[in-house]
Amino acid sequence: MAADGEEALPEFPLYKAAAINCDPRLGDKAGNVSRQLVLVEEAAGKGAKLIAVPEMATTGYCWHDRREVAPFVETIPGPTTDRFLALAEKYGCWIVLGLPEVDAASGVYYNSAALIGPDGVAGVHRKTHPYISEPKWAKQGDLGHRVFRTPIGNLGLLICMDIHFSETARLEALNGADVIVHVSNWLAEKTPAPYWITRAFENGCYVLEANRSGWERTVRFSGGSALINPDGTIQSRFDDGEGIVFGEIDVAAARRKDFAGSGHKFRERRPAGYLELLHDPYLWNPLDFFRLYNHDPLPPGRKSRVAAIQMNPVAGDVVSNLGRTIEKARQAAAAGADLAVFPELTLNGPVNAVQAEETALEIPERNLRALLDVALEQGIHLVVGLAEREGGRLYNSALLLGPEGIAGKYRKTHLDRRDSAWAVPGDPDFPAFNLPLGRVGLLIGHDALFPEPARILALRGADLLCCPSAVTHPQPYGLGETAARHNYPIPRGYHPVHWHLWRVRGGENNCYLAFANMAGESPEGGPYFGSSGVFSPDTFHFPRHERILPRGGDGMAILDIDTTDAPGSVYPTNVVRRKDLLRMRQPLWYDDIVRPVT
C-alpha cells in the first residue's frame, strides 16, 4: 500500500483534465465512436492530458440480454481502443473509455473501462458492483480495484454503481490513486451526485466524472460530468447535453490528505478495528442472521420520533450546560420525541486541555442523575456528549441514557487535533445498543468523516446512527438547477443542501442518522456550521424524508422514523432492515482496507 505524500511527483504534476458528457445511441456503435472521437480530440487539442468518456459510451447501456448486446462487444485491446490510441499517441494524453468487453478466451462479457495511453492500453477495470442492468448480460468484474502508475500520476478506475460503495474508492486511494476516474450512466438524481463528492472528500483525491445524458428505453440519465476536488468541492461541472468539462489536477494536492487543518485522512484511520468490513452478514436474511443461536436478535422495531438538538454549550461550564440540556430534553419529550441526540461535549462544551482536566466527569456521576431523572420521568432516551474521566485518562464520550438508566456508552475513536490535546482515543469497537425503537449505533463528530465506523455499525444491524458533533467542516453546500428533465419528484431546481456528508453516511448504510452539531464560533475560530438534522435510510427517495436545521442558532430537528416490517413477514420489508446496499457489497476485494498504511 502507498505511503501517503511520500511518493515522488510524476512527470506531469499539474495538468488539465477533461470529462465528456455525451448521449450515445443504443446500438449505433459506429456513430457513437465517431462522435466521441471528435469530442476527445477537441479536449486533447485544448491541452487535456486526462480525458474520460462515460460508461458503455460506445454502444449505449439499456440492453435486454446477452444476445442483444453480442454484436457490439469487443476485446480490449481491440478495434475501438485502437482508434482512441491513435489520439493518445498524437496528443500524448490518457483516455478512459467505457465499453462492453468480451474476454477472447472465455467468451464472457464485462462492463469495462479501458485506460489508453500513448503506448497502448495501460489498464482495464471491469465493473465489480453491478447495477440492476448488468446481470442481464455481463459477469461481475474479476480484476479488483487496481491503481495504474502513469506520467500524470496514479489513476484508479471505477464504473457507475461501484462508487456507491465506500470500499471501492477507499481501496484505490489507499493504494495511491491521485485521481479516481469514474465513468457512469448515473440516473435518478441531480448531479454531480453526493456519492461522487463524498468519495473525493473522504479519500482526499480528485474524482474525474464522465456521465452520460439523454434518454434511453424510458431511462433519463443525469449528465453532470465534473471534476471534484480532494476537499469535496466541485471545481467544474457541465450539466446536460453533449459537451466537455475541463479542470486542473494538482497531484501534490491529492497527496496531502488533510482534513482542513483538523487531521489526516489516512494516518487517523484505525484499520485494526475495521476487520468486520470483510464480513458479509447481509448475504443472509438478517432476521435470521442476528438471532442465530438465540444471540442478540434485532429488536422488533416500531414507529418512533427522533430529535437532533442544535446548541452551543459553554466551554467549561457544566452547571449551565446541564441546565440547558435538561430544558431541551423536556422540549423534545413534549414534541413527542422518543430519542433526542445532543451535540458532542454537551455537558463540558468545546473544552481545551485545561478545561477538560478541570471539568471531566466520572461515570456514574451525580450531575448525570438529573438527566436520568428527566429520561425516567419523560420516557425518553437521550444521547449526550461529555468529557469523561476514568482513572488517569480522559475520553471524548457519548452516553445513551434512558428510563432504564445508562443504556450505553461510546468513546470517540477518531480524534481531531483539538481532541488530541486532552483525550485518548477509545477502542475501535463501535458498539450498538438495542432499544424499543430499534438498534442504535453511536459515533462522535470526526468519526463520521471516515466511512468505516458507520459501515461497521450498519453491518451490526444498526437501524439508527446517532452522531453528536462539534464540527466546522465539511460544510454542506447547495447546487444550482439542472436542465436534465427528471420526472417528478426528482428535484431539478436549486437546493441549498445538495451535499451533506451525514445524509450520505445514513443513506449509503441504509440507516436513519441523527446529526446534532454545535452552532456558533469554535474556540479555534471559524463557525460550527450547525445544519443538524435527521436523515432517512434511502437517499434516492424523493421528496426526501428528512429534517435539517439552519446553519446558526439553537434548534430542534424532529423526524418520524419507522423500523418495522410488514406484519408476519419472515423477510425484512423495510429498507432499514433489508439494507440493500450492504447486501450488494463485495468483501472479497476489501482486504487492503484493514491493512495499515506503511
**Residue-level pLDDT at 365:** 78
**Does the fold of domain 275-293+302-479+491-594 match that of domain 14-255?**
yes
The three cell numbers of residue 171 are 481501496
Tens of pLDDT along 394-438?
999 999 999 999 999 999 999 999 999 999 999 999 999 999 999
The three cell numbers of residue 26 are 443504443
For residue 258, is pLDDT > 80?
A: yes
For residue 524, is pLDDT > 90?
A: no
Q: Which residue has the cell 484505525?
A: 270
List Cα–Cα distances, 189 to 192, 217, 521, in angstroms. Answer: 9, 18, 34
Alpha helices in 421-572 (DSSP H): 451-459, 501-508
Q: What value does the mean pLDDT take over residues 239-265?
A: 94
Fold exhibited by the domain 14-255: Nitrilase/N-carbamoyl-D-aminoacid amidohydrolase (3.60.110)
List Cα–Cα distances, 576 to 167, 288, 305, 401, 463, in angstroms. Answer: 20, 15, 15, 23, 6
- The CATH superfamily label for domain 275-293+302-479+491-594 reads Carbon-nitrogen hydrolase (3.60.110.10)
Tens of pLDDT along 475-513?
999 999 999 999 999 999 999 999 999 999 999 999 999
Are 233 and 1 a contacting pair, CB within 8 Å? no
Are 202 and 195 a contacting pair, CB within 8 Å? no
Q: What value does the mean pLDDT take over residues 382-390?
A: 98
Please enumerate in sequence order all residues whose Cβ is within 8 A of that of 155, keeping only pairs 6 or more positions apart, or say none: 50, 94, 96, 115, 123, 147, 148, 177, 178, 179, 180, 181
| 212 phi, psi to nearest 5 deg | -80, 165
For residue 348, is pLDDT > 50?
A: yes
List Cα–Cα distances, 304 to 333, 340, 387, 502, 565, in angstroms. Answer: 12, 11, 29, 20, 14
Tens of pLDDT along 23-37?
999 999 999 999 999
**Residue-level pLDDT at 557:** 98
Q: What value does the mean pLDDT take over residues 528-536?
A: 97
Tens of pLDDT along 325-340?
999 999 999 999 999 9
- Is this model's pTM higher than 0.95 or not? yes
**Residue-level pLDDT at 597:** 67
For residue 6, is pLDDT > 90?
A: no
Which has the minimum average pLDDT: 112-116, 218-222, 366-370, 536-540?
366-370
Tens of pLDDT along 37-66?
999 999 999 999 999 999 999 999 999 999
CA distance 238 to 236: 7
Where residue 5 falls among pLDDT bands split at 50, 70, 90?
A: low
Where residue 3 falls among pLDDT bands split at 50, 70, 90?
A: very low
Q: Which of 203, 51, 170 is nearest to 118 (CA)?
A: 51
Q: Which of 423, 444, 410 is nearest to 356 (CA)?
A: 423
Q: Which residue has the cell 425516567?
A: 376
The three cell numbers of residue 330 are 423536556
CB-based burial of residue 401 (10 Å sphere; 0-12 exposed, 13-18 middle, 19+ buried)?
A: buried
**Residue-level pLDDT at 262:** 74
Where residue 598 falls among pLDDT bands split at 50, 70, 90?
A: low
Tell me the domain boundaries of the chain.
Answer: 14-255, 275-293+302-479+491-594
Instruction: Give the residues across from 434 on adjacent strands.
Output: 439
* Strands of 223-302, DSSP E: 226-228, 234-237, 243-250
List Cα–Cα distances, 511 to 121, 203, 459, 463, 515, in angstroms. Answer: 41, 22, 10, 5, 12
